[in-house]
Amino acid sequence: MGYQFSIHHAHMSSGMIKQGRKLENKRISRRGFLKVLGGLAVTAGAAAVFWEMWRPKGGPSPTRTLKPNVYTQNGKSLVSIVKGNSDTDIETLVRRAVDAIGGIGKIVSTGKTVVIKPAVLTSDPNCAPDPVVVAAIAKMAKEAGGTVIVAETSGNGDTAYNLSKVGITLAAQDVGAEVRALPSEEEILIEVPLGTKLTTVKTYPTVYNCDVLVSVPRLKRHGSTAVTMSLKNMMGTVPQSEMNRLHNVDLSQCIADLNTVMKPDLTVVDATYAMAGQGPTGGEMVEMDTVMASGDPVAIDMVAAERLHKLEQQLGIASFDPAEVRHINSAAALGVGTNNIDDMTIIEESIS
Amino acid sequence: MIGKIEISRAVTALLAICFLAAAPILGIMYGTTSAVTFGSFTLISPLELALVSISARTIPVNLVVPGLIVILIIVFFGRFFCGWICPMGILLENSHVLTIRKRRKGVGALWKNREKWAILLPILAASFLFGFTAPYIFSPPGVVYRTILSLMFRGVIGADLMVIFLILALDLFAIHYGRTWCNTICPLGTAISSLSFINFVKPKVDHKRCIDFDFNCLDCERICPMRIPVTRADRWAMMECNKCLKCWASCPVKAVKIDGFSRVLHGMIERPYPVFAAKKTQAQKSSRLSMAGPSQPLSSS
Amino acid sequence: MRITRREFFKLLAEGAAALGILKIASLIPSWARMDIVRPPGAVEEEFFNSLCVRCAICLEVCPTRAIVLADFQDGVSAVDTPKIDPITGPCEFFRGRCEEVMQCSKFCPTGALQLADRHGVKMGTAELSPDRCLAYIGKECVVCDEMCPVPEAITLTSDLKPVFNGTKCVGCGICVYHCPAEPKALTLRPEGAKRTKWLK
């Protein structure tokens, strides 16, 4: 008997039976061709729009270029040096230093955005300004009615971590300032019209668009540029990749060029402890209990360099020639400020 | 025709990959199939634990509990990893349409799987004798997961990805039916199946409904990718079962039940095609040997 | 399952062949680079490849993305084990995000990487190629000296050229990462590495 039905091995190859489909030899029609063309045009247009939106933009003409220094007297730049002793309240020192040259009210008024830029290279508190100094300036700016942002790009490591580790994040937030790690923002490309070696540079919107820029470095030596103070602090307004590029071009000249578009309106140098002998890391921390302030970054760098040189001579450490610091001289040549002692008025005060 | 079960299994494997990729970003879990950590709490796969212990001549104390937890899960639930999570397994099953040659069908040919011992034992011996633990790269789920993580975190694809293609090519050239890599070679699979002692979830044939005695059916055995003789398997043969549920889905008379899950699966049977089996002759009925192919029958103990 | 004697011997022969192949594979010299720099906290190399289960957890938790997985060029025994690539990420175990706790060693499940005091760990040594160094070709650059977290590991000559002190160097690779020269003037080599002791 037995008609047999074939055993259906439908499930053998785990259920996926391919349906063969014959690809016919199709010729493309006119309509099809136009569709493809239209599609390409739309894609190109969309790509162009996206490119416009996402590329690093050249900004409008720089808003921060060489504004005149407001902290002057009889045409000379004012530089204040306030010295205390180990017990002096640091905030008092800062307030005295800034008030001695004219007070923060000269640059900050209600509604202005104030960016405080501390020099935070690593997570080592010795390399960064004292958080109390940063907080004091933030407080003063807030009292004058400004909105305060503390911003920085660390050269080494993660900026947010470094700011937190050196104590600046907490100190700034305690006085109501916002803390921003610049690398979290999108880079913008700006022109440097007065630059000799630098024609364009990448930076961040926060520092570029602010009304008032306050530079807060610590008094430190440096391996190649001899000192790192206010002028070199502006390296922290560019991305880490850009910092590399500037070293490749010509570091000292690039620092000077950068300061033509990133000139700080006020500089407060934290010299409570100075790093002598070696820098910007690994040097000897020497107690100086001093805070300096000026509206002229070149002048204050010049004065601070001389003070550091004197300190090193006192300590018997091999020192540098403050008149030969290239980036200070180049910046003076570009008109960022003055490095001539005769064009400065130095106000020295002592608080006991 | 892709059944619901196959889709569910592929989706589960995909979800496992997505979870593995998303978890480190959320910070809840890090790792691959070799070992995972939930912060304070880790789990380690038994093969990796064995290789570490053997080559280092001691079981690291902090790995005892992590290893034991995974071993216990395998002891009670068997080789479900191979059927539901391993991406290589899903890939192999669905690529059988590309098989180069026609495969030899042998019903319930579990005896053909023995080569795996000639692979796992030398690997263990090599780690003991000369501390060589490189066969980790032949654990395909590990390779897949490491490749994904390497791509996510470093933007590069490791060279060991070619292991996946190698295994795929190997399997496509296989002579016998089923997931040849999985059931004959994979050291991780062998290690897992050799631990599946208790194995709660396994297929069980209701012999009152099974038509095998009267008809040449054995669809369940023909379709099993692990080559288990489903109708006649004892618990030792069932250790191979990777819970793919194909036997359950392909039985024309619903004679295959899944221990412990019958209620859940009750309404989910799918029968895409009717299957007509040929009636057996009397001689065929009396000789059960004819159904087992050219091998020995299972031990009758 | 019953097994015939014939099958048993067949399996035995296959097993022996497999063992032979594994032995040969373990002997394959890594023809390219035996210069793997391991993450900080790594145990001695002879135990490392045994303990590492290639779980890639260290790769995931490294905050600087300094860890990559070794490939075949680093030796068959080391494939997929972690190594440090300083060009893509600096290791901040000495100063930075991992200065308090080494994340890789904290999460390693098997103990191939072990928590250790960062002053006792040396991952390797940085090596300078003066022909590519910006300072040696007359430009103004001492970034390596600026970034180096170890005092005295890099010093400057009187004309501001960096000099590397191998014994003080901890091999963190921060100098390599920050070197602005193209191509980089610095490489991180595994020589001089001090590994942690493996506690059984």
Pair of tokens at residue C126: 């940085």
Domain final residue pick, B165, B193, B221: B193
Residues B162 and B283 in one domain: no
pLDDT at A118 over 50: yes
Q: Which chain B residues are closer than 8 Å to A2 by Cβ?
A: 278-279
- Looking up tokens 């937890």 gives B69
pLDDT at C186 over 70: yes
B220-238 mean pLDDT? 87
Q: Is C101 on the interface with B (CB under 8 A)?
A: no
The proportion of chain B whose per-residue pLDDT surpasses 90, expressed as a percent, equals: 28
Element (H, E) at B250: helix B246-250
- pLDDT interval class at A13 (50, 70, 90): very low
- Looking up tokens 């390409």 gives A40
Our CA dihedral for A88, A89, A94, A99, rounded to 10 degrees, sits at -80
List the domain range (segments joined by +) for residue B76. Answer: 4-193
CB contact under 8 A, C25 and B146: no
User: Of A126-140, B28-42, B245-259, which gets the smallest average pLDDT?
Assistant: B245-259
Q: C187: which strand partners?
A: C127
User: Of A136-140, A330-334, B209-213, C171-175, which gets the smallest average pLDDT?
Assistant: B209-213
User: Of A313-317, B269-273, C158-162, which gets the smallest average pLDDT?
Assistant: B269-273
**Of residues A231, A223, A239, A230, the one with CA closest to residue A153:** A239
A172-180 mean pLDDT? 94
Per the domain annotation, does B57 fall within a domain?
A: yes
Per the domain annotation, does A42 fall within a domain?
A: no
Q: Which chain B residues are closer than 8 Å to C111 by Cβ?
A: 60, 62
Per the domain annotation, does A343 fall within a domain?
A: yes
Per the domain annotation, does A223 fall within a domain?
A: yes
pLDDT at A24 over 50: no
**Taking the alpha carbons of A65, A71, A74, A79 in that order, is the dihedral positive or negative?**
negative
Q: Is C88 on the interface with B (CB under 8 A)?
A: yes
Residues B217 and B166 in one domain: no
C172-176 mean pLDDT? 94
The proportion of chain A whose per-residue pLDDT surpasses 90, expressed as a percent, equals: 65
* Chain C CA closest to residue A327: C140
- CA–CA separation, C48 vs B42, rounded Å? 19
What is the pLDDT, as a whole number, of residue A159? 94
Concatenated DSSP letters of C118-141: GGG-B--EEEE-TTT-TTTTT---
- CA–CA separation, C198 vs C51, rounded Å? 10
CA–chain centroid gap for C186, Å, is: 15
What is the pLDDT, as a whole number, of residue C47? 84
Pair of tokens at residue C20: 């032979």
Tell me the backbone φ, ψ of residue A92, rounded to 5 degrees: -60, -45
Residues B183 and B223 in one domain: no
**Of residues B206, B265, B193, B207, the one with CA closest to residue B235:** B193
> Do the Cβ atoms of B126 and B136 come closer than 8 Å?
no
> Do the Cβ atoms of A214 and A267 come closer than 8 Å?
yes
User: Of A234-238, A333-337, C25-29, which gets the smallest average pLDDT?
Assistant: C25-29
Q: Give the tens place of pLDDT for each residue, C77-86.
A: 888 899 999 9
Q: How many domains does chain A have?
A: 1
DSSP A137: H
Count, in order, helices (H) and strands (E) of chain A: 11, 13
pLDDT at A28 over 60: no
Cβ contacts of residue B159 below 8 Å, gap of 6+? C71, C72, C79
Stronger pLDDT, A298 or B5, i.e. the higher one: A298
Per the domain annotation, does B244 fall within a domain?
A: yes
Q: Which residues of A216-246 are buried (b: 16+ CB within 10 A; e: fewer)?
A: bbbbbbbbbbbbbbbbbbbbbbbbbebbbbb
**Within a 10 A sphere around the Cβ of A110, how many other Cβ atoms?**
8
- pLDDT interval class at B288 (50, 70, 90): low
> Do the Cβ atoms of A156 and C178 come closer than 8 Å?
yes
- CA–CA separation, A343 vs A75, rounded Å? 8
Among B146-160, B208-222, C91-105, top mean pLDDT goes to C91-105
Residues B152 and B210 in one domain: no
Tell me the backbone φ, ψ of residue A265, rounded to 5 degrees: -75, -25
Q: Which chain A residues are closer than 8 Å to B99 by Cβ?
A: 13
> Do the Cβ atoms of C33 and B7 come closer than 8 Å?
no
**Within a 10 A sphere around the Cβ of B232, how many other Cβ atoms?**
18
Cβ contacts of residue A140 below 8 Å, gap of 6+? A94, A95, A98, A104
- pLDDT interval class at B297 (50, 70, 90): very low
> Do the Cβ atoms of B83 and B9 come closer than 8 Å?
yes
CA distance B268 to chain C (A): 34
- CA–CA separation, A175 vs A131, rounded Å? 11
Residues B174 and B268 in one domain: no
- CA–CA separation, B220 vs B80, rounded Å? 18
User: Of A95-104, A241-250, C27-36, which gets the smallest average pLDDT?
Assistant: C27-36
Q: Is C3 on the interface with B (CB under 8 A)?
A: yes
User: Of A58-67, B23-32, B96-105, which gets the smallest average pLDDT?
Assistant: A58-67
Pair of tokens at residue A86: 């180990």
B190-199 mean pLDDT? 91
**Within a 10 A sphere around the Cβ of A81, how many other Cβ atoms?**
22
ipTM: 0.85
Write a three-state SS string for B23-55. HHHHCCCEECCCEEECCCCEEECHHHHHHHHHH
State how far the alpha carbon of C66 is from the alpha carbons of A40, A317, C85, C91, in Å: 41, 38, 6, 6
Concatenated DSSP letters of A48-85: HHHHHHHSPPB-SS-SSS-PPPSSEETTEEEEEEEE--
A341-351 mean pLDDT? 92
- pLDDT interval class at C23 (50, 70, 90): confident
What is the pLDDT, as a whole number, of residue B278? 65
User: Of A176-180, B26-30, B63-67, B136-140, which gets the smallest average pLDDT?
Assistant: B136-140
What is the pLDDT, as a whole number, of residue A58? 52
**Taking the alpha carbons of A278, A283, A285, A291 in that order, is the dihedral positive or negative?**
positive
What is the pLDDT, as a whole number, of residue B80? 92
Residues B155 and B227 in one domain: no
Residues B79 and B186 in one domain: yes
Per the domain annotation, does A327 fall within a domain?
A: yes
- CA–CA separation, C20 vs C27, rounded Å? 11
pLDDT at B171 over 90: no
**Of residues A255, A184, A210, the one with CA closest to residue A116:** A210
What is the pLDDT, as a whole number, of residue A27? 55
B294 by Cβ neighbours in 10 Å (0-12 / 13-18 / 19+) ranks as exposed
- pLDDT interval class at B104 (50, 70, 90): confident
CB contact under 8 A, B3 and A9: no
Per the domain annotation, does B151 fall within a domain?
A: yes
Tell me the backbone φ, ψ of residue A191, rounded to 5 degrees: -90, 155
CB contact under 8 A, C135 and A224: yes
**Of residues A302, A290, A268, A294, the one with CA closest to residue A102:** A294
Pair of tokens at residue B184: 């004959």
Domain final residue pick, B140, B167, B193: B193
Provide the whole-model pTM: 0.81
B171-200 mean pLDDT? 88
> Do the Cβ atoms of A167 and A131 come closer than 8 Å?
yes
- CA–CA separation, C172 vs C86, rounded Å? 8
Per the domain annotation, does B297 fall within a domain?
A: no
CB contact under 8 A, C182 and A248: yes
CA distance B55 to chain C (A): 6
Q: Which chain B residues are closer than 8 Å to A12 by Cβ?
A: 177, 222-223
Q: B204: which strand partners?
A: B257
CA distance B169 to chain A (A): 17
CB interface of C with B, residues 63-82, below 8 Å: 65, 68-69, 71-72, 76-77, 79-80
Strands A72-73 and B42-44: unpaired
CB contact under 8 A, C140 and A123: no
Domain final residue pick, B193, B220, B244: B193
B211-217 mean pLDDT? 80
Q: Which chain A residues are closer than 8 Å to B93 by Cβ?
A: 14
CA distance C40 to chain B (A): 19
Q: How many domains does chain B have?
A: 2
Q: Give the tens place of pLDDT for each residue, B235-284.
A: 888 999 999 888 888 888 888 888 767 666 665 555 544 455 567 777 77
Stronger pLDDT, A219 or C27, i.e. the higher one: A219
What is the pLDDT, as a whole number, of residue A20? 32
Q: Is A156 on the interface with C (CB under 8 A)?
A: yes
What is the pLDDT, as a whole number, of residue A63? 59
Per the domain annotation, does A36 fall within a domain?
A: no
pLDDT at B226 over 70: yes
- CA–CA separation, C187 vs C88, rounded Å? 12
What is the pLDDT, as a whole number, of residue A16? 33
What is the pLDDT, as a whole number, of residue A29? 66
State how far the alpha carbon of A135 is from the alpha carbons of A50, A139, A174, A231, C133, in Å: 41, 6, 8, 21, 40
Residues B170 and B218 in one domain: no
List the domain range (segments joined by +) for residue A231. Answer: 59-350
- pLDDT interval class at B295 (50, 70, 90): very low
- pLDDT interval class at A64 (50, 70, 90): low
A232-249 mean pLDDT? 92
Q: Which residues of A153-164 are buried (b: 16+ CB within 10 A; e: fewer)?
A: bbbbbbbbbbbe
pLDDT at A1 over 70: no
A30 by Cβ neighbours in 10 Å (0-12 / 13-18 / 19+) ranks as exposed
pLDDT at A171 over 90: yes
- CA–CA separation, A138 vs A144, rounded Å? 10
CB contact under 8 A, A247 and C139: yes
Per the domain annotation, does A111 fall within a domain?
A: yes
pLDDT at C169 over 90: yes
pLDDT at B103 over 80: no
**Of residues C69, C96, C98, the one with CA closest to residue C84:** C69
- Looking up tokens 């989910």 gives B268
- Looking up tokens 């006192």 gives A314
Stronger pLDDT, B267 or B209, i.e. the higher one: B209
Residues B9 and B151 in one domain: yes
CB half-sphere exposure, B296, CA atoms < 13 A: 9
What is the pLDDT, as a whole number, of residue A56? 58
A14 by Cβ neighbours in 10 Å (0-12 / 13-18 / 19+) ranks as buried
What are the start-end ranges of the H helices in C28-68? 45-51, 57-61
Stronger pLDDT, B250 or C131, i.e. the higher one: C131
What is the pLDDT, as a whole number, of residue C165? 92
What is the pLDDT, as a whole number, of residue B265? 64
Per the domain annotation, does B299 fall within a domain?
A: no
Pair of tokens at residue C85: 């690539």
- CA–CA separation, A327 vs A333, rounded Å? 10
A70-75 mean pLDDT? 90
Q: A294: which strand partners?
A: A79, A267
C68 by Cβ neighbours in 10 Å (0-12 / 13-18 / 19+) ranks as buried
pLDDT at C163 over 60: yes
Per the domain annotation, does B164 fall within a domain?
A: yes
What is the pLDDT, as a whole number, of residue B262? 65
pLDDT at A14 over 50: no
Q: Give the tens place of pLDDT for each residue, A255-314.
A: 999 999 999 999 999 999 999 988 888 888 999 999 999 999 999 999 999 999 999 999
CB interface of B with C, residues 158-197, below 8 Å: 158-160
Per the domain annotation, does B198 fall within a domain?
A: no
**Taking the alpha carbons of B174, B179, B181, B187 in that order, is the dihedral positive or negative?**
negative
Average pLDDT, chain A: 86
Supply the CATH number for residue A162's domain: 3.40.50.11440
> Do the Cβ atoms of A268 and A98 come closer than 8 Å?
yes
**Of residues A222, A181, B29, the one with CA closest to residue C97:** A181
Residues B136 and B48 in one domain: yes
- pLDDT interval class at C29 (50, 70, 90): low
Q: Is B153 on the interface with C (CB under 8 A)?
A: yes
Per the domain annotation, does A28 fall within a domain?
A: no
What is the pLDDT, as a whole number, of residue A238? 95
DSSP B284: H
- CA–CA separation, A324 vs C120, rounded Å? 41
Strands A226-228 and A218-222: antiparallel
